Amino acid sequence: MAEIVGAYFTSHVPGIGGAIQRGDQQTPYWKPFFDGFPPVREWLAAVRPDIAVVFSNDHGLNFFLDTMPTFAVGAAAEYRNADEGWGLPLYKPVKGHPALSWHVIEQLVADEFDPVTCQAMLVDHAIAIPLELAWPDVTEWPVKLVPIGINTVQHPLPSARRCLALGRSVHRALSSWGGDERIVVIGTGGLSHQLDGERAGFMNPDFDRFCLDHLAADPDALTHLSVHDIVRLAGTQGVEVLNWIAARGALGPGAVEIHRNYHLPISNTAAATMLLEPA
Ligand code: DHB
Ligand code: FE
């Protein structure tokens, strides 16, 4: 029986990649953010996952505004990293787990989700940065990847309720997977940020705290908000919290918080990191 060892959540600001490249982790600007990661690395070393099911959003690399799937599941044997224009270093390719990807897809379709299935997919900073933060300096990623993309970019976006239900469907798939792997669920992006328009630079610590405080014990509390409420409260790109909500669903019914870090600003983003374990 496969085991879901827990869930790791983090913001995925591209500037983090530049900070890592320059070795800026201990500078006053970056230290409060990077200080959130030693506990993440220690926890990962202890729970030893060999598969990562990652909920994130594509930023124009696989899908652009002309073709925008609401939900997309990767089913590739390997995922190359590419940079959609930030000037970031390219990270190592990530091995896939096509059999588990198809098992997840089968469950999602059985549960009446209709994802786009991607037998070729690139990964952008939304996956590469969280992996690099979790496992710096490894020569090969220790996990195989099952990437699940959620449209947080072009409206209409899926509701928070729908994303939590999607995650719960993925949980059913992981629970019925016959392998003996150890699985970590990852949610990336957020928390509050807005990159464009009149409110560029908008962040909302009160709303972020509400999300962080409810994620483990009462994720349904986050689903009473409409997407437009979330945009208003978290910013146009703060809707990436939908990735966190879906990942929380995939962890399973009960969860306990074992680590949290929150710091703003990192670039234009209120950055958060969290670890949850199954209750
Ligand atoms: C920033 C944050 C993001 O989530 C992203 O995808 C791109 C940029 C930022 O704050 O700079
Ligand atoms: Fe983003």
pLDDT tens for 40-63 read: 999 999 999 999 999 999 999 999
CA-nearest residue for atom 6, ligand 1, is: 13
Dihedral, 3, 72, 61, 119 alpha carbons, nearest 10: 80
DSSP 196: S
d(CA 247, CA 8): 9
- Which fold, 3-278? Protocatechuate 4,5-dioxygenase; Chain B (3.40.830)
133-146, pLDDT tens digit by residue?
999 989 999 999 99
Residues with CB under 5 A from ligand 2 (ion): 189
Domain ranges of the chain: 3-278
Q: Is the CB of 193 under 6 A from ligand 1?
A: yes
**Average pLDDT along the chain:** 97
Q: Is 1's pLDDT higher than 90?
A: no
Instruction: Determine contact, residues 73/147, Cβ cutoff 8 Å.
Output: yes
Which of these is catalytic: 12, 97, 103, 125?
125
Model ipTM value: 0.98
193 classed as catalytic: yes
In ligand 1, the atom with minimum distance to the C-alpha of 15 is 11
Q: Is the CB of 268 under 6 A from ligand 1?
A: yes
What confidence tier does 210 reach under pLDDT thresholds 50, 70, 90? very high
125 classed as catalytic: yes
User: Which ligand number lies closest to the CA of residue 192?
Assistant: 1
Q: Is the CB of 191 under 6 A from ligand 1?
A: no
User: Which ligand number lies closest to the CA of residue 268?
Assistant: 1
d(CA 242, CA 191): 10
